[in-house]
Each structure stands twice: as structure tokens, then as C-alpha cells.
Structure 1
Amino acid sequence: MDAHEFKFSVFLSTVILESGILLAHGPLQQRIVLDAAWERPVRALSAAPFGRDAFTALAPDRAAAPAVFRALRERQLIVPEGCDEVAALRDSFGRRPEDSGHDAAAPAASWPASRYGLPQRLSTAAAAAGAGKPVRVLLIGGCVTQFTEEPLHALGRELGLDVRTEHVWPGPSADLARSVRRSRPDVTVYQPGVQPFLTGLFDGAHTCDDEERAHRLALMKNALTLSVRALAEALEGSLGLVHNVAPPALSPFGRFDFAEEYGLRRVVAELNLHIDRCVRGHSHLMVVDEERLVARYGAAALFDDLVFPFGHHGGSVDPGDERPHQLPALGRALAGEYLACLRAHRGIGRIKLVVTDLDGTLWPGIAADDGFDWIDGDATSRWTHLGLHQALSVLKSRGVLLATCSKGDAHATLGTWEKAADRLPLGPDDFVLHRINWLAKSENIADLCTRLGFTPDQVLFLDDNPVERAETATALPGLHVAEGPVHGFRELLLSSAALEGGRRTREAARRTDTTRAMLRREELRAGLDRNAFLRSLDVRVRVTRAGEEHLARAAELFNRTNQFTTTAWRTTPEELRRVLTEPDTHLHVGDVCDRFGDYGLTAACLVRNGTVTAFAMSCRVIGLDAAVPFLVAALEDGAGGRHALSAGLTGRIVVTDRNTPARELFADAGFEARGDDGLYLLTDPGRLPELSELPVTVLSATAAGAGGP
């Protein structure tokens, strides 16, 4: 017999559907749909307590049983035997007024107690396939956010994520913080623009003058400031997504909205600008841009204000259906945005290199034969290819590297392109490498990966020829290959979360130049010994104790570095800010340059309580041997230049499948290995290398002495 027994909830109700069986918990508003084959096990197990073994034995597919059991337990459709559900429910509503359907500080009936949207469907096949990586999503908002739950589950499964959702209605800031602390979500969605807030701004706009509209807008801005600040603090660095507000398809002022000092267009614009300002100050918050979704899909396809009042702000409706509902377009669009924001924020599946074919893809025809006369025309194809150029230029500004891979004669193709470069958004120098020859494209792309240190799953390939696409996809498993016609490539490049590397930084914008410099260094290295090579580069490392202005970039380095990282520690600027208030803690950052270029802030080292807990250095400067000089300078500055204080410092190497370049860092700096768990100890500070004797110039207050930089 199982050590633990369970039972179906006393609040369980079931409905037989054409597509399966619906299980529901009315008081908790929890629902799930299982395949029809689960009807018999549910009926059989509802009569008496049972264990996991009995549940598995009756399951239509034993491999699916664990996932189905967990899903029912999470929704409290299955509870432990002996559980007093009535008392637990009463206690839950007493502690969580927002979950009972009412905000404790709001008038009665301000919020509906209904649960909208479709229940999650968990098929036996999906359950048997096993769960992906768990992602907990807390939805704080109106019925619109409830309608995202089912598509979140479905889209999550497609992306290998096991999305688990919880919904609460918005309330005061204190309730918001309590909800976050209780749920401990990976992602929190906050939709402030729900009906009670928007009614005064939208529905009553035509009943009051400009002064009153301005007053209501100011009140809404103040409320948003407090709510976003409370959300940011409660999340403690985890991701928060804040909805802005989509403008209604129509204005109560009609075509004369422009004539009002505070027309609806201005109200929405100012509201969204204010949300941007509130969110911008917190690196772990992002904006869910409803306005952009409307621009892309159309207000009539997403929202209901062509039928319902302006302030209802729900999804598009079927006027002939009296049930509270919405058509699914908005729910799907928002669910896609939530998961895209998560992937972009965490860098999940990030693409670092786009490789493009040339003839027929980046331009029409064959450049070496046809030239670039197409630029002077006005055909659709001209604008299609210029649009692709522009999209690739946008990615370059974000720090995504570009390379070419095309069949043809390199000299003829590049020569013709170079002559026309000033008439195009992109010239040959905007690409880090070119592979224009008659070799198989998979061979060329594999070589590009080797030269740049990427794996195929970090690369996207564009080619108009389906045969070439199939050849590369077969030969290089994991390679991302854009399918479909060339005119669809631009949308992919500008909308994929995998091609968004976070907020724009100076280092990202210059990544093409710094990578090209790295490649020139590699060419120079041939024929020189190591020290002579480094001295010829005039490598300089400027070491600085991190200030507020460095935290965002330092967090980005810790989060994005996979090769030269000692512990693969992930963090946020907010967490770094808190950590730096601890005693005996310091964070140093390093800017690296050589005679080929300035690589910017490319290194970070965090020391907490005598231990180097995190060290990261960009792969673009690994070949400059700057890691040891940077580490030594950071340790010496942390000790105030007194070597004796460095005795007893420790460091640790946490081995990952990609951080081979960093594994000898502490040994090279004079630390001694202690045991097999990656721990290193600095027993003798005299073993630290003398910075003046290294072939790299270090610039820091300690290294330079009094009056230094």
C-alpha cells in the first residue's frame, strides 16, 4: 500500500464533453479537460481513497499518470485523505480576499467572481511525453489575463515549457505584493488597465471637460507609479510584465478627437508613455505592448470596443452569444507575447549569428552577372530586398553578428557589391565573415561556427533555395533554417524573441567591429610567440570598482556568458545592488581594448566574504589573456593594495558543458586546488602574478598607485 493516500475533492464536478471529460472545482474556479479515456478511472477512484499506485494502475496510459496526477493535485481536484477542505477553503478566502473575487478595499461587486476562458486541456499523449521545464506564471489582471491561461499551457508545451498559471484580480499594492510572495512566480503579468480604471478615462471622456480628463489621467498615472514600484520590489528580480493600454478602435470624439486638448488619442499616448517611464527604471520589468499588437493585428480582431463600451477592454466578441466570453485571438496573442518576453529576458534559445545567402536572397538575381541596377527601380522585389537589408541592419545594431554563405566567385561578388555599398543599407564590411565559394553550404556554416565559437543552435540561416535549406538542416542538426519565401524573412527577423538580446547597449552595437578585430588578432597570431603576440596588440584592461551605472551591464555579462564563467551564476541589477550592501563584498568591472579596437565593458568579478563567487569575461576578449590580470587587479583593489589581506581568499569552478576556457583561471592566478569539488585557495598572496610583468597593461587605482587613473 502507498505511504500516502489521496481522494478526489468533495467539490469535484465532472461534465462529459464530446472531446473528453471536464473536471472542475467550483469554489476555487479550477478546471481541466482530460481525454475521454480518463472517465472510467475518475469514476472508479471517486468512491474511496486511493494511492499513486492505484491511480497509475487505472490510467489509460501509465506513462501519462504522473503528469495527470500532478495537474489534478495542483488544482486541488485531488487532495490528501483526511484533508478538511471546507475549513481550508474558508481559511484561504480569509487570507486571500483578492482570490474570493473581491478587492478588500473596493466596494462589493467591483470585481466579478467568475472564471473566464477555456480550461486547460491535458491530452494523454502530451502527459505521456513528459513535462518540460516548469515555468510558474502569476496573472494579476482582469478577465483578459484569464483568457491567456489555456494558450499559455498549449504554447508552453510547444516550446518545451511546463507552464503553470495562477490568476488573481488586481487590488491594492499590499495585496499585489502578498500575491507575489505567496506564488513565487517565474513570471508575473500585471494588467492595470482593467475595466474599473478605464471606465473613468474612456467611457466618461465625453461627459467631462478637458480639465477633468486631465485630472483623471493624473490620478491614473499616480496609481500606476505606486503599483509598478510595488510590483518591482515584490518580484525581487524575477521577471514582471506590465500591460500598457491599446487605444479603442473608435473615439467618443469621432473624427474631431484632435480638437480636444485631452482627446482619447492623447490620453492613451500619455498613459503609455508614463508606463514606459515607470518600467524603464527596473531591468527585470518589461512592457507588454497592447498598442503594438493592435497595430499588427487590428483593433477589431482583438478588442471589443466596436460592440462593447470603450472601457470594457475585453477581447473581440460574438454579439449573438450571451455568455461572458471572448473570441480567442487576444488570448493567443498575449500568451505569445508573455512567453516571448520570458525568452528574450532570459536569453532562452538566443541566436547570435545570422548567415545569409546572397544571390536571390539578399538581392534579386546574380550580382556578379546582373549588377545592382535593381536598386534604381521601383518594383516590389526592390523594396522586399531593401526591407531584408534593413532588418539585418537592425539585428546588427542589437549585437547579432552577420555572415554570408553563398555559391559563387568571392572576388567578383564582393567587388560588385563593394561598388554599390553606398547605395545599400548593408555593405560587405557589415558582415564579420564571408563564405562565397562552391563548397557545400553546410560545410561553410560549420566553418563559420568554428571560427566564431558558436554551435549550430545559435545560428539562423537564410536562403531562397529550398534544396540548400534542406541540405544544411540535415547536415547540421540544431541549425535554425528560415522556411518560406524571402519576403517572409523580414517579419521573422524583426519579431523573433531569439533575436532580441535585451536592452540595447554600447557593447552590443559595436559587436560586429569587436568581433572583426578579434578575427584580425587571430590572423596576426600566426608566427609570433604568445607574449610577443600580446605585446604587439597593446592590450589594456581598465579595472574599476562597479558603481550604479555598471550594474546593468555586469548583470548582462553574468547572465549571457557561457564560456569564460567560473560558476555560471545568473543575476539581476537589483540583486547585485542588494548584494553590494553586504559587508566585505565588492564588484569590479573591466574595460578591454587593443590596437584593433575598444571592446567596452567585457569582464566582471564579484567577491563576497572572501570568495570569488562569480567571474565572467566576454568571449570576444578571451584570446587577449586578460582574465588573470583582471582578476589579480580586482583582488588587489579589494584588499586596498595590501597583499597580506588577500591570504585565504577562495574561488570555485562549477563545471558546465561549455566553460572549459575558465577552468584554469584560479590555478593560473596562483591559487591551489583543494579537493575535487572545484574549490581553490590562495594560501600565499605572493604567488599572485606581478601585474607589471604581464604582457597586458592594467589600469586601475591600485595598479597605478597614488594619483593613478
Structure 2
Amino acid sequence: MTTTTIVKCLVWDLDNTLWRGTVLEDTDVVLTDAVREVISTLDGRGILQAVASKNDHDLAWKHLERLGVAEYFVLPRIGWGPKSHSIREIAERLNFAPATIAFVDDQPAERAEVAFHLPEVRCYPAEQVTALPTLPEFSPPASTVDSRRRRLMYQAGFERDHARAAHSGPDDDFLRSLDLRMTITPAGHEEISRVEELTLRTSQMNATGVHYSDAALRALLADSGHEVLVVTMSDRFGPHGAVGIVLLAMEPPVWHLKLLATSCRVVSFGAGAVILNWLTDRAARAGVHLVADFRRTERNRLMEVAYRFAGFMESGCVCASVLEDPAGGVERLHLEPSPRPEPKTLKLIAAEGIPFTASAAR
């Protein structure tokens, strides 16, 4: 069965696509209620929206503000360059794979230009705009708190990046200035949809590439031998939301890390390394070994680096003999843990019931 790749960002053309009319030729342009509803609906589903338009930037942006929709577009690219260049910039800025980007334009030649240079980007004609929310690729399986505020989290992220660029001192000083906080808690039934969404949306920082369904995750919650942990972060600019999932089978003498996935948005904060160090410290204090599943994909090289940097290596340790044989393509990485120091750039908070030693930033 083929799984539909969910669109993470829809890039809009403006003239005769987002609105009726042409900025440089008409005295006014019109945004229909139907298109306004599409914008609002996709935003509520957590699908980001951007602009790639050949237009006068200031004039076009004034129309977006006048029509009351400027706030919905996270990365407007309004100018005179090829739209494929604009879309590539948007994908790179968001750190999204081209296959998760969609583009809508009234001009066949513009869609063809994008399709030629970015064949993985899905292109749609303007007359299909009002039908987009009914298509499976624009229909995430669940609406969560994080998805409904995803645009706001990305916009806060751009402010954060701007502050980072303006900072002239050491990077660690900047990270400390953010007042970063990470919370690791057992997932509850109300949080499972957020966890499932994270496994669906994360490819670069997903250790196995496995996407766990809502039903599978709920079954694990009822299994006393497993922990499903959700990781959230926040800082002075606002919440990052749910940024990580840890799926752990706990059967001494070994804890089996079946899945670690973190959002690409927190890679620069070293979130994966912090989670692994916390888990390693916890395992050391419990007197167990750690075995982590890892399956190489085209996009998760960063996750392999995080595992190696944390000390996970191939090993013939007999502790793994208590585990079931791995699925095809899955490697087993081993670590005999030792206590780890507290993180220096963020505050870690553990939920009740999870032994936790790292509690404050230095």
C-alpha cells in the first residue's frame, strides 16, 4: 500500500491565483471568501504557506496586508527571479524535502519551470485551489495543538534565528541567553496524536524511518514493558512544541531504544544529543546497557552522527541476545553507559515517575 506524503508547505503564486487580478495592471485585486477559507483551513492543519510571485515586492505585500492574510505566509519570495529558485530557497530555509512542498500557479509555463527544476515538488493549477483541502496530501491524519500553532512556532523561530545572527559572542552564550527548557514526560492518551504526527513529519532526525500509527502507540502505552516519552521545548521567544519522541523497551539487563525522532527545528540546539545523554545517564544509574535501533535512510545521516557522538557503536555484547531479531535493514548499536554531566545550555525538567538527575543549566 502506498503512503501519501503529506504536504508540509504550500507555495502560492499571487496574481490570478491567490487573488483575482494583477497587481501591476489592475487598480485593485480581490481575495474571494473561498480562497480565504482555504488559507485558514490549511493553516489550522499545520501546513505552512509561503509565496513565490513575480511582482513588485512592496506593492504586492501591501495588498496582502490590506486583505488581512499577510500573517499567514512565513517566507514570501516576491521578485523577478525564477520561481523554482524561490521554492528551492523556501524548502532549504524550512529544511523540508522537496517532496513535501506544493506549488499552485495559474500559468502552465511557471508550473512547468518548477517541475523541470524541482520534479519532486507537486504543482497544481489555480482552478484547483478550492479543492486542495479535500486532497489526501493536504489532509494530515490528526489536528493537534502543535499543528494548529505551527506557523507561529516557525515565525518565532525566524525571530530566534535573527537574534542568533545579530549575536556577536560565543554560540554557547547565545544559547544560554535563550533560557532554553526541555521537558521529557510520559506520553498520555491525549498526546498520542502529537507523537504520531512527529513520526510522520520527521525524516532527517528519525533513527529508523519507522512511522508508528496511533493504534500502535496506544497499544504500547498499555504495555508496562515500554515507555513512550514525548519531548517538548520552549525559550524566551515562545514554545517549540513537541520536538521529540523516545520509544523505549525496558527489560534488564538491557534497555532497547526502538525509536528516537526529533524535529529538524531543534537540530541546532543539539536536542538529540541532550536526549541521548539524559537517557545514557538514566541507564547508567539503573545499571543496564543500551541498545539502539538504527536504519540508514537517504536523509537521516545527522541522527547517525548523534548516536556515534553519544558513544553508540556496533558490538557483540551478549545483552542483545535477549532482544528479538531486528527487522531487515535495522542495525543494532550498543552502549555500556556511564553517568553524564548536566547540560550547559538548557534546563531539563523530568516528569514525575522518571528518575532524572540533570535539573538546571550552568
TM-score above 0.5, yes or no: yes
Q: Taking structure 1 as reference, are residues 633 and 546 closer, same or farther at Cα in structure 2, changes over 3 Å only? A: farther
1:513 to 152, 157, 160: 152
Q: Which amino acid aligns with 1:629?
A: V
Q: Distance in 1 between matches of 2:231 and 2:269?
A: 13
1:268 corresponds in structure 2 to: none
Superposed CA RMSD in Å reads 2.7
Shift of 1:368: 6.0
Structure 1 alignment gaps of length 5 or more: 1-134, 136-160, 162-345, 376-381
Unaligned runs of 5+ in 2: 317-328
Match of 1:681 in 2: 334
Q: Which residue of 2 aligns with 1:410?
A: 57
Cα drift, residue 506 of structure 1: 0.8
Structure with bigger strand share is: 2
Label 1:694 to 1:650 Cα distance change in 2 as closer, same or farther (>3 A).
farther
Could you say if the C-alpha distance between residues 412 and 665 of structure 1 is closer, same or farther in structure 2, counting changes exceeding 3 Å? same
Check 1:435–1:629 CA distance in 2 against 1; reply closer, same or farther (3 A cut).
same
Provide TM-score, normalisation by structure 2.
Answer: 0.84
Query: Structure 2 vs 1, CA of residues 501 and 596 (structure 1 numbering), >3 Å: closer, same or farther?
Result: same
Q: Please give the alpha-carbon distance, in whole angstroms, between the structure 1 residues aligned to 2:64 and 2:198.
A: 36
1:496 aligns with 2:135: yes
* 2:23 matched residue in structure 1: 367
AA paired with 1:592?
A: M
Tell me, yes or no, if structure 1 residue 459 matches structure 2 residue 101: yes
Aligned positions, number: 338
Pairs within 5 Å for 1:634-649: 634=279, 643-649=284-290
Q: What is the one-letter code of the residue matched to 1:349?
A: T
Give, as a single letter, the amino acid of the residue that structure 2 aligns with 1:391. V
Q: Does 1:547 align with 2:154?
A: no
Confirm or deny: 8 A CA contact 2:290 2:337 kept in the other structure: no
Checking the alignment, whether the CA contact within 8 Å between 2:205 and 2:303 is kept in structure 1 is: yes
| Pair 494,449 (structure 1): closer, same or farther in 2 beyond 3 Å | same
TM-aligned CA distance change 1:555 to 1:466, over 3 Å: closer
Q: Distance in 2 between matches of 1:550 and 1:516?
A: 23
Decide whether the 8 Å contact of 2:144 with 2:193 is kept in 1: no
Give, in angstroms, the shift of residue 371 of structure 1: 5.3
SS in structure 2 opposite 1:658? coil
The structural deviation recorded for 1:559 is 3.4
- Contact kept? 1:518, 1:621, Cα under 8 Å: no
1:621/1:541 CA distance change after superposition, 3 Å: same
Measure, in 1, the Cα distance between the counterparts of 2:56 and 2:172. Answer: 38
What does residue range 437-448 of structure 1 map to in structure 2 within 5 Å? 437-448=79-90
Evaluate the alpha carbon distance shift between residue 430 and residue 518 of structure 1 in structure 2; reply closer, same or farther with a 3 A threshold: same
Query: 4+ residue stretches of structure 1 with deviation over 6 A?
Result: none
1:582-637 per-residue CA deviation (whole Å, 9 max, x = no partner) reads: 45422211111122221222211011131111111122222322222233335556
The question of 1:535 aligning with 2:176 is answered yes
Q: 1:579 to 1:635 in 2, by over 3 A?
A: farther
Residue identity matched to 1:662: M
TM-score, normalised via structure 1 length: 0.45
Change over 3 Å in CA distance of 1:359–1:517 after alignment to 2: same
Output the amino acid matched with 1:579: L
CA deviation digits over 1:340-371, x for unaligned, max 9? xxxxxx5x122111111112221222336645
Which residue of structure 2 lines up, in the alignment, with residue 189 of structure 1?
none
More helix by share: 1
Percent identity between matched residues is 29
How many angstroms does 1:440 deviate by?
0.9
Pick closer, same or farther for the CA change 1:678–1:487 going to 2, 3 Å.
Answer: closer
- Contact 1:404–1:436 (8 Å) recurs in 2: yes
**Aligned equivalents of 1:650 and 1:409: distance in 2?**
56
- Provide the rounded CA distance (Å) in 2 between the counterparts of 1:369 and 1:699: 57
Name the counterpart of 2:162: 523
- Residues of 2 paired with 1:371 and 1:515: CA distance? 34
Equivalences for residues 316-395 of structure 1 within 5 A: 346=3, 348-367=4-23, 370=26, 372=28, 385-395=32-42
Higher Cα Rg, which structure: 1
> Within 2, Cα distance between the matches of 1:662 and 1:656?
10
Conserved 8 A contact 1:354-1:459? yes
2:259 is matched with: 614
For 2:273, the equivalent position in structure 1 comes to 628
1:666 equivalent in alignment to 2:307:
yes
Aligned-partner Cα distance in 2 for 1:580–1:391: 36
CA distance in 1, matches of 2:248, 2:204: 20
Note closer, same or farther for the CA distance 1:703–1:432 as it changes in structure 2 (3 Å cut). Answer: same
Aligned to 2:324: none
The one-letter amino acid of 2:200's match is N
Deviation for aligned residue 1:406: 0.7
Is the Cα contact below 8 Å between 1:646 and 1:685 reproduced in 2?
Answer: no
Q: Secondary structure at the match of 2:336?
A: coil
